[in-house]
Amino acid sequence: MTAQATFRLISAKEFIRTTTSGKPDLEESKRVLVELAEILEPPADYDILVDCREAHGTLTYADIYELAMELCRHPSAFRNKVAVLTRSDSQWDKASLFEVFARGRGYNVAAFTDFEEVIEWLSEGRYISPGEQE
């Protein structure tokens, strides 16, 4: 029997901000991530699904690192699972890198390209090793 998943769905556009010229605004994105962290602080007890499939932009690998480090600055908010759902294009590479950065600091983050796999992972507690894609 599958356990019930309790998760908060966050669209990437909720926290990946852009400037008026359409370029990613890393500082504003980190500020919004902190706001989301405050919402997720205990007693809230959610796994998180970040849906990036409709996000477009040019986040650099350094930006991805900065976002992962911002997540790590809020251990009580991001203490549960964090699933990142992406397209299978170059976005997958960046999501996988985010996963590696966060997992390297002890966070249970996994990148996916398939919605059903995300729900299965969140529901059953299945462990995905860094960079693994089924």
Closest CA to 18 of 5, 27, 6: 27
Segment 25-42, tens digit of pLDDT: 778 888 877 787 777 767
Read off the pLDDT of each residue in 124-131 and give the average, rounded to a whole number.
51
Domain-embedded: residue 20: yes
Domain-embedded: residue 132: no
Q: Which residues pair with 109 in a beta bridge?
A: 82
Domain-embedded: residue 54: yes
pLDDT of residue 133: 47
Residue 125 confidence class, pLDDT cut points 50, 70, 90: low
Q: Are 64 and 104 in contact (CB under 8 A)?
A: no
Domain-embedded: residue 2: no
Domain total in the chain: 1
- Of the chain, the percentage scoring pLDDT greater than 70 comes to 82
Domain-embedded: residue 133: no
Domain-embedded: residue 1: no
Give me the domain span that covers residue 57.
Answer: 7-124
Above 90 in pLDDT, residue 115? Answer: yes
